[in-house]
Amino acid sequence: MTVSEYNQSVDLFSDRVYRFVLKSIRDIHKAEDIVQDSYEKLWKNAENVSFEKVKPYLFTTAYHTMIDLIRKEKKSLYSEDLKLPDEGRENNYSDLGEILKEAVDRLPEIQRMVLLLRDYEGYSYEEIGELTNLNESQVKVYIYRARVFLKKYIGNIEMVV
């Protein structure tokens, strides 16, 4: 990868990686640090990474950095203790986007990250598996569980409306 290709990758992918990381860990400063770290690793390894592989390289690096960070903070990656909103709860949301955003925030990190890779970046199960070191069926299960939870969450709020 040439220098100009590296700089081009900044223009092309830094916003996307940033959105993925920010949405996953919900901390602006940490997200910025992780994006910078990912690009720093890419720069150090620029000779071994072809331009076609830059995007998955960045997402893989960012993903694993996040996983390490979450483990350090002793958060549960796989917590299934999902709390749905009370059915009788007052609806304070202006639109579906807000409801969905809150629902996504309540997902366990691993499910959220896998779902973001799927929806934001359109990666296949197989590609997500390669990025995250999970097998394809695990990816499938996480996406399935995440969607079911989101559907129930939206459904509960809409019932009130």
Contacting positions for other proteins (CB under 8 A) = 3-4, 6-8, 10-12, 14-19, 22, 32, 35-36, 39, 43, 96, 100, 104, 115-116, 118-120, 125, 140, 143-144, 146-148, 150-151, 154-155, 158
14 vs 74 by CB, closer to other proteins: 14
What burial class does residue 49 get, using C-beta atoms within 10 Å of its C-beta: 0-12 exposed, 13-18 middle, 19+ buried? buried
Contact yes or no for 16/120 (Cβ under 8 A) = yes
- Shortest distance, position 4 Cβ to other proteins, whole Å: 6
Q: Which residue has the tokens 């955003």?
A: 101
The sign of the torsion formed by the CA atoms of 123, 127, 131, 137 equals positive
- Shortest distance, position 86 Cβ to other proteins, whole Å: 18
69 vs 113 by CB, closer to other proteins: 113
Please count the other Cβ atoms lying within 10 Å of the Cβ belonging to residue 36.
Answer: 12
74 vs 161 by CB, closer to other proteins: 161
